[in-house]
A and B are shown apart, each in its own frame.
Chain A
Amino acid sequence: MSTESAPGPQSGVAQDLQQTPRVAVSALVTNLREYGLILALIAIMVFFQFTTSGTLFKPVNLSNLVQQNSFIIVMALGMLLVIVSGHIDLSVGSVAGFIGALAAMMMVIWPLGPLSNPLVVSIICLIVGGAIGAAQGYWIAYHRIPSFIVTLAGMLIFRGICQALLGGGSSVGPLPVGFKALSSGFIPDVIGPLTLIPPTVNAAGKTIVGSGLTLHITTLLIGLVAVLAYAYFGLRARRTRERHGYEAEPFSLFVVKTLVISVLALFLVYQFATYRGLPIVLMVMGVLIALFVFATKRMTIGRRIYAMGGNAKAAQLSGIKTERLTLMVFINMGVLSALGGLIIAARLGQAVPAAGLGSELDVIAAVFIGGASAMGGVGQVIGAVVGGFIMGVMNNGMSIMGVNVDWQQVVKGLVLLGAVVFDVYNKNKG
Chain B
Amino acid sequence: MASTILEMRDITKTFPGVKALSNVNLSVEEGEIHAVVGENGAGKSTLMKVLSGVYPSGTYDGEIIYRGEECHFKGIHDSERHGIVIIHQELALVPMLSIAENIFLGNEHARYGIIDWNANETRTSALLKKVGLKEDPKTLITNIGVGKQQLVEIAKALSKQVQLLILDEPTASLSEKDSQALLDLLLEFKRQGITSILISHKLNEVNRVADKVTIIRDGRTIETLIKKDIREDRIITSMVGRSLDNRFPPREPKIGETVLEVKNWSVYHPIHAERQVIKGIDIDVRKGEVVGIAGLMGAGRTEFAMSLFGRSYGRHITGEVRLKGKPIDISSVSKAVEHGIAYVTEDRKTYGLNLIDHIKHNITLANLPGVSRHSVIDDMRELAVANDYKAKTNIRSSSVYQMTGNLSGGNQQKVVLSKWLFANPEVLILDEPTRGIDVGAKYEIYTIIARLAAEGKAIIVISSEMPELLGITDRIYVMNEGRIVGEMAASDASQEKIMRAIVRGEGKKAS
Contact = CB atoms under 8 A, between A and B. Distances in A.
A13 B387 contact: yes
B377 A303 contact: yes
B262 interface: no
A314 B353 contact: yes
Nearest to B332: A321
Contacts of B444: 3, 5
Given A299-B376, A303-B368, A306-B357, A319 B387 contact: no
Contacts of A19: 398
B375 A244 contact: no
Contacts of B354: 306-307, 310-311, 314-315, 377
Interface string A304-330: 101100110111111111000000000
B280 interface: no
Interface string A229-273: 000000001001100101010000000000000000000000000
Given A314-B353, A317-B333, A300 B390 contact: no
Interface string B88-127: 0000000000000000000000000000000000000000
B401 A318 contact: no
Contact of B451 (A3, A246, A310): A3
A6 interface: yes
Contacts of A314: 350-354, 365
Contacts of A321: 332, 334
A178 to B, nearest CB: 35
Nearest to B390: A12
A300 B369 contact: yes
B87 interface: no
B451 A1 contact: yes
B392 interface: yes
Given A1-B451, A3-B451, A300-B369, A319 B394 contact: no
A34 interface: no
A307 B376 contact: no
Contacts of A303: 361, 365, 368, 377
A9 B388 CA distance: 6
A29 B392 CA distance: 31
B400 interface: yes
B477 interface: no
Contacts of A5: 394, 444
Question: B-side binding surface: helix, strand, loop or mixed?
Answer: helix
Contacts of A241: 379-380
B508 to A, nearest CB: 35
Contacts of B407: none
Contact of B394 (A6, A16, A318): A6
A113 interface: no
A2 interface: yes
B197 interface: no
Interface string B329-351: 00011101100000101000011
Contacts of A246: 383, 399, 401
A319 B391 contact: no
Interface residues of B, number: 48
Contacts of B377: 298-300, 303
B383 A3 contact: no
A8 interface: yes
A202 interface: no
A16 to B, nearest CB: 5
Nearest to B350: A313
A7 interface: yes
A3 B380 contact: no
A301 B334 contact: no
Given A1-B451, A310-B357, A317 B345 contact: yes
A304 B391 contact: no
Given A2-B391, A304-B368, A307-B357, A319 B399 contact: no
B387 A12 contact: yes
B399 A311 contact: no
A378 interface: yes
Contacts of A8: 391
Contacts of B493: none
Contacts of B391: 2, 6-9, 11-12
B309 interface: yes
A307 B365 contact: yes
Interface string B10-39: 000000000000000000000000000000
Interface of A: 1-3, 5-9, 11-13, 15-16, 19, 237, 240-241, 244, 246, 248, 298-301, 303-304, 306-307, 310-311, 313-321, 377-378
Q: Please name the 6 residue pairs, one residue from A and one from B, whose CB atoms are nearest each other, closest first.
A: A310-B354, A318-B366, A319-B337, A319-B334, A300-B368, A9-B391
Given A237-B379, A320-B365, 16 more contacts: A2-B391, A2-B392, A3-B448, A6-B394, A9-B387, A246-B383, A246-B399, A300-B369, A304-B368, A314-B351, A315-B354, A317-B345, A317-B351, A319-B336, A319-B337, A321-B334
23 contacts: A5-B394, A6-B392, A7-B391, A9-B391, A12-B390, A12-B399, A16-B399, A240-B380, A241-B380, A244-B380, A298-B379, A300-B375, A300-B377, A301-B375, A303-B365, A303-B368, A306-B357, A307-B354, A311-B354, A318-B365, A319-B334, A320-B333, A377-B357
